[in-house]
Amino acid sequence: MSTEQQPVLCIIGASGFLSWHVGLHAWAQGYEVHACSTRRDSVEDISEAIAGADLVVHLAACNRPAEGETLDDAAAATHKAGNITAEAIALAADRGQAPNAVTIAGTTQTGTAYGDAKAAAGQAILDAAERAQIQATQWLLPNLFGEHGTPKHNMVTATFIQALLDGERPQVNGNHPLTLLAARHAAELLLDPTPGGTQQVPTDHLRHTTVPELLKRLEHIHEGYQEHGALPDTADAFTNELCAAYLSHAVPKRNAVELIKHSDERGSFVETLRAGGQGQVSFSTTVPGVTRGNHLHLRKIERFVVLKGQATIEMRKHGSEERIRVHASGEAPKAVDMLCGWTHNITNIGSDTLYTQFWINEPFDPSDPDTFFQEV
C-alpha cells in the first residue's frame, strides 16, 4: 500500500529497455518502485502487487518472436499480457484494493500483428480500468531510442551506434522517414496518467528524421568522440538525446578518453574538451580522503578531468550493481564522462590536494537542477 511519504509505482513488464527508464524516472520522482512479470507471475500475484498502488505502468509486450516462434506467436503473447493486467486490475478492484491509476505503453504501429495486439491489449486494460473507476491513459509511442538500447533488436539507433563502435559502416538503402521518441520522454509521459484515454505523444517530444540523416548524426558524434573525445552541440535537444544514447554504449567499451599533455619549462597544457554547444566548466579542490558527488542526472552529460593529484572516479547504473571504476591522475590526464542515469562520485585517494575540472552541458539552474542524490 502506498504512503503519503512515498507513493508506490508498479511496473508490469519490468525487464526491458523502457522499463529501466521508467524505473529511473519514477525513482527520481520519489516513487517506491515494484516490478511484475506477466510471464512469471500469476494474475493473483500481480493483483496483490498492484493493490492500492498510486500508479501501475503496463509495459509487458513481445515485440519479437522467440527462436522457433512466429510473429503471430509474439502478437498472441502481447495480447495475453494485456489481458493478464486487465484481470489483475479487476481482481484487485473486487477486493476493494484497486490502484489509483494506470498508464499503458501503446504503439503508433498499425496494420501489423504486433500493432493490432498492442491495441487490443491496451483496450482491455482501459476497459478494466473504466469498470474499476480508476484513471487510465494509453500513450501511443513511436520508435524509441535512448541510453542502453539493445542493438540488432528493434532499435535502429542502438544498432547504428554498435556498428560504428565495432568499426563497421552501416549500409542504408533508401531515404525512409523515421519518427523517434527518446525513452526519457516516454518515461515522463507514462508517469503522468492525468490526460485519460488514448493519447498521442506531444509533438515537441517527437524527433522527425530519416534513416540516412540519423546515421549521419551518429557518425558525427562518433567521429569527434573517437578522435579526441569531442562532444557535439548538445544545446540541440535531439543531438543531446542521441549523444546520451551513444555514450551509454561508448563509455562502457572505453571507460575514459586519453588526453594529450603538452609540457615545457613554463608548465603544462591539456585540452580537456571540445564541444559544439553551450555548457559549464567548473574547477574544484578536494582535500585527501574526501568524496564529492554521489548523485545522478536524468539528462545532463558531465565530464571529469583530474588536473593534479590522485583520484578514483566511480559510476553505478541505477537499479543495478553494474559499475565503472577509473583511476585518474594529473600525471596522465584523461577525460571520464558520466552517464545519464548512473550515480557517480570522485574521491581523493592521494596525500595532496586534488584539482579537478568539471564540464556539464547546461548551466546549473536551481529551479531545475536535474541532480538526484544516490550513493554509488
Superfamily of the domain at 8-141: NAD(P)-binding Rossmann-like Domain (3.40.50.720)
In this predicted structure, what is the pLDDT of residue 260? 85
Tell me what pLDDT residue 4 has: 62
Across the chain, mean pLDDT equals 94
> What average pLDDT does this structure show over 129-147?
97
Residue predicted with more confidence, 274 or 77: 77
pLDDT given at position 267: 74
Cβ atoms within 10 Å of 288's Cβ, excluding its own? 14
Other C-beta atoms closer than 10 Å to the C-beta of 24 total 24
Over residues 108-131, mean pLDDT: 96
pLDDT tens digits, one per residue of 228-244: 899 999 989 999 999 99
pLDDT of residue 275: 83
Give residue-wise pLDDT tens across range 51-78: 999 999 999 999 888 788 898 999 999 9
User: Would you state the pLDDT for residue 68?
Assistant: 85
H helix runs in the chain, sequence order? 17-28, 43-50, 71-94, 113-132, 156-165, 183-190, 211-228, 237-253
First to last CA, the chain: 28
Give the dihedral of Cα atoms 183, 192, 31, 104; nearest 10 deg. -70
Taking the whole predicted model, whether its pTM rises above 0.95 is answered as: no
* Region 138-158 average pLDDT: 94
Long-range CB pairs of 331-335, under 8 A, 24+ apart, other chains included: 332/258, 332/261, 333/259, 333/261, 333/270, 333/272, 333/305, 333/306, 333/307, 334/256, 334/257, 334/258, 334/259, 334/305, 334/306, 335/229, 335/256, 335/257, 335/259, 335/272, 335/273, 335/303, 335/304, 335/305
User: pLDDT at position 291, please?
Assistant: 96
Q: Please state, in angstroms and as integers, the Cα–Cα distance from residue 72 to each residue in 16, 66, 76, 113, following that order.
A: 21, 11, 6, 6
Would 8-141 and 257-373 be classified into the same CATH topology?
A: no
Domain residue ranges in the chain = 8-141, 257-373
Fold of 257-373: Jelly Rolls (2.60.120)
Query: Is it the case that residue 108 has pLDDT exceeding 50?
Result: yes
Predicted confidence (pLDDT) per residue in 1-60, tens digit: 444 679 999 999 988 999 999 999 999 999 999 999 999 999 999 999 999 999 999 999
Confidence of residue 283 (pLDDT cuts 50, 70, 90): confident
Banded pLDDT at 130 (limits 50, 70, 90): very high
CB atoms within 10 A of CB 260: 9
Give the span between the Cα atoms of 222 and 231, in whole angstroms: 9
